[in-house]
């Protein structure tokens, strides 16, 4: 038999129901936000569902590859999705996301990624030119630092399912002969005249992580 002292107080019952209700509200908000994002992308950037050549329910693309430079190997991983705005002027088809860059010294940089293609785009981006830029953005403090090096500016095109790019000399500009980040202030610090090619292929981050370990001298 349940005594009065064993029965939960009304406030306890309300608290339990309140926690469950809050959780359901949070789940509902995320679900609605996800559906809204998919609907907006389908309306204004349907090509996002075909990045890399095949249809996928989530409008994003991720892949990795390695820059083979004179100073060593620099594995790169990127993940991006269609974006409503862009860097500088309007008039393009934009992407944004994040990535990781590893160096021959074993350093690892979290990178903010942006990109631009022409507008309008077909559903298939195969053969389309793309400009991709990225810069160091440490998690939690990227907005509080003034120096975002290393910075890379890549140009190339889609060759589905891959991205074929060159660094425009920005690896040599961003890193010294020993593979460390160039921190000098020389405004005439040159870009290399021998750009490095890289092919980013679709794949999980785990493959990139293995390449990072192998790249360390």
Q: 152 vs 9, 51, 75, 76, 174, CA distance in Å?
A: 61, 22, 13, 11, 8
The residue with tokens 């794949």 is 203
Q: What is the DSSP letter of 143?
A: G
Please compute, for residue 199, the number of CA atoms within 13 A of its CA located in the half-sphere on the CB side: 5
CA distances from 75 to 8, 28, 59, 124, 200 (A): 58, 39, 24, 27, 10
Q: What is the pLDDT along the chain (217 residues), one digit of tens a residue?
A: 545 445 554 445 445 455 556 766 767 665 666 667 677 777 789 999 999 999 999 999 999 999 999 999 999 999 999 998 655 445 789 999 999 999 999 999 999 999 999 988 989 999 999 999 999 999 988 889 999 999 999 999 999 999 999 999 999 999 998 999 999 988 778 778 889 999 999 999 999 999 999 999 8
The structural domains of the chain, with segments of one domain joined by +, span: 10-44, 49-215
Statement: the pTM of the whole predicted model exceeds 0.75: yes
């Amino acid at each position: 038999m349940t005594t009065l002292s064993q029965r939960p107080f009304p406030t306890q019952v309300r608290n339990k129901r309140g926690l469950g209700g809050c959780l359901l509200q949070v789940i509902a908000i995320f679900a609605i936000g996800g559906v809204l994002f998919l609907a907006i992308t389908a309306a204004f950037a349907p090509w996002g569902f075909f990045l890399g050549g095949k249809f996928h329910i989530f409008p994003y693309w991720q892949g990795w590859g390695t820059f083979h430079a004179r100073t060593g190997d620099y594995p790169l991983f990127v993940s991006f999705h269609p974006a409503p705005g862009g860097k500088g002027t309007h008039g393009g088809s934009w992407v944004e996301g994040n990535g990781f860059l590893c160096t021959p010294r074993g350093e690892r940089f979290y990178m903010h990624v942006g990109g631009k293609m022409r507008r309008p785009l077909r559903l298939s981006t195969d053969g389309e030119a793309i400009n991709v830029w990225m810069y160091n953005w440490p998690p939690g403090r990227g907005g509080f630092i003034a120096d975002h090096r290393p910075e890379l500016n890549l140009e190339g095109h889609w060759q589905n399912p891959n991205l074929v790019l060159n660094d425009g000399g920005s690896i040599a500009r961003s890193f010294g002969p020993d593979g460390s980040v160039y921190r000098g202030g020389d405004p005439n610090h040159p870009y290399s005249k021998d750009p490095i090619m890289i092919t980013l292929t679709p794949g999980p981050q785990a493959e990139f992580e293995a390449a990072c370990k192998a790249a360390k001298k």
